[in-house]
């Protein structure tokens, strides 16, 4: 039996250390390069589910996401006017974004998501003239896109907002609606250029009159005429829309009775 033990030479030990150090350096470089690849994190963002629920003032459509985050800058209301044709579209742009969410139908709303290259499109369909506005927001933990379709008919219990639910950006503090004339006053906070609209809607949701308003020192008031053919319930709104895509930003609304002019 050969009892000799082969010992590594100083040169072989030096070579082994150099190889190990080089391998570690290569692995670190590959990891840094992989993390820096564009779209790597975004590719995991996936729409997984659609949920629809009824609220007094609106029907809410929620899209759940996994694998990453989206922001308001990723979202655009490609069609923000559901009133005329009962259709609306919301686009989410993000590198690598995907969907495996099945279509959903509930509360008279049908929702489905189309897949595109680095984009998904939420398509909403409902009855004509049922909803007047589309609003959206993004919530985190868990990640979700929230789309609200605001009902067009006069607000019932739980749907009257003298102070806007979107952080109090508009209020209707006083109002009067008589035969052919209307007036309202309230407060405004943090709207773009302090400009918005006041609207009267008929019982079916059709617009009877729209006037522009500019608040001064946080307060506003407006008087205007309108015309209807017969007495009916209606809605008085103070409302503001996104400069980006026309979607609803802020709304205060009350139930009123409209009457034809004398």
Determine the average pLDDT of the residues in 176-199.
98
pLDDT band for position 40 (cuts 50, 70, 90) = very low
Q: Which domains does the chain have, with CATH numbers?
A: 42-151 (2.60.40), 174-258 (2.60.40.10)
Cα-Cα-Cα-Cα dihedral sign, residues 140, 141, 144, 149 = negative
147, 138 contact by CB (below 8 A) = no
Strand partners for 54: 59
Instruction: Tell me the per-residue pLDDT of 201-212, one tens digit each, with 9 for 90 and over.
Output: 999 999 999 999
Nearest to 74 by CA among 31, 18, 32, 137: 137
**Over the stretch 105-155, which tens digit does the pLDDT of each residue have?**
999 999 999 999 999 999 999 999 999 999 999 999 999 999 999 999 999
Residue 236's φ and ψ, nearest 5 degrees, are -105, 125
Per-residue pLDDT tens digits for 223-249: 999 999 999 999 999 999 999 999 999
Burial class (CB in 10 A: 0-12, 13-18, 19+), 13: exposed
For residue 165, is pLDDT > 50?
yes
Q: What is the model's pLDDT at position 44?
A: 76
d(CA 251, CA 90): 20
With 0.95 as the threshold, say if the pTM is over it.
Answer: no
Give the per-residue pLDDT at 14.
36
Question: DSSP secondary-structure letter at 85?
Answer: H
DSSP 8-state symbol, 113: E
Q: Whole-angstrom Cα distance, residue 165 to residue 252?
A: 8
Calpha distance 126→107 (Å, rounded): 9
């Amino acid at each position: 039996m050969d009892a000799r033990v082969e010992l590594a030479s100083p040169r072989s030990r030096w070579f082994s250390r150099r190889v190990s150090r080089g391998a570690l350096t290569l692995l670190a470089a590959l990891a840094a390069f992989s993390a820096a690849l564009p779209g790597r994190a975004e590719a995991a963002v996936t729409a997984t589910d659609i949920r629809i629920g009824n609220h007094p003032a609106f029907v809410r459509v929620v899209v759940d996401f996994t694998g990453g985050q989206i922001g308001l800058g990723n979202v655009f209301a490609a069609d923000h006017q559901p009133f005329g044709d009962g259709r609306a579209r919301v686009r989410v742009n993000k590198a690598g974004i995907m969907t495996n969410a099945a279509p959903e139908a509930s509360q008279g709303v049908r929702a489905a998501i189309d897949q595109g290259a680095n984009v998904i499109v939420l398509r909403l369909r409902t009855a004509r003239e049922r909803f007047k506005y589309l609003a959206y927001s993004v919530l985190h933990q868990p990640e979700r896109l929230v789309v609200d379709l605001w009902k067009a008919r006069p607000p019932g219990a739980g749907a009257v907002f003298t102070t806007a639910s979107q952080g109090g950006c508009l209020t209707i503090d006083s109002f009067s609606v008589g035969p052919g004339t209307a007036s309202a006053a309230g407060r405004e906070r943090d709207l773009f250029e302090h400009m918005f609209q006041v609207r009267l809607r008929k019982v079916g949701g059709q617009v009877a009159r729209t006037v522009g308003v500019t608040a001064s020192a946080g307060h506003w008031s407006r008087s205007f005429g309108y015309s209807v053919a017969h007495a009916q319930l209606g809605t008085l709104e103070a409302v503001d829309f996104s400069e980006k895509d026309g979607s609803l930003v802020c709304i205060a609304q009350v139930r009123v009775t409209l009457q034809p002019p004398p």
